[in-house]
Amino acid sequence: MRMWRSYESPVFGILMLEIKVQGAKSLKDRRQVFRSLQTLLRKRWNVSVTDLGPSGSWSDLAMAVGIVGSSFDSVEDTLSDVMRFLNMKEELSEFSIVRMKREVEKYDVF
């Protein structure tokens, strides 16, 4: 029988965003905005980023940014940095953030 070592419970965080892509004339325009944000966020913070739809809309985009870490503070800090970055990009880009929601939880059911 193998004994488990003492370890920290993982902490996971998710940032949900609803974005309006201004001036989008096709799904290609919407996807370009998503891919650009996805690439920047993955490269800078090594987070997971996914497009949640809606699948047929040219201008509406829902996306989620996820991270898993070993401490509540590190996950919270990373998501705060991501939020500040997205707000800064919003001022310089062709999208606007309609709403954002952030949740950080400790997973301790292992």
CATH for 76:
3.30.70.1120
Is the sign of the CA dihedral 67, 70, 72, 77 positive or negative?
negative
Q: What is the pLDDT of residues 3-26, one digit of tens each?
A: 556 677 899 999 999 999 998 899
Domain count, the chain: 1
Domain of residue 97: give its range: 11-104
What are the CA-CA distances from residue 40 to residues 8, 46, 47, 84, 94 (Å)?
29, 9, 10, 13, 15
Q: For the segment 40-86, what is each residue's pLDDT rounded down to a tens digit?
A: 999 999 999 999 998 888 999 999 999 999 999 999 999 999 999 99
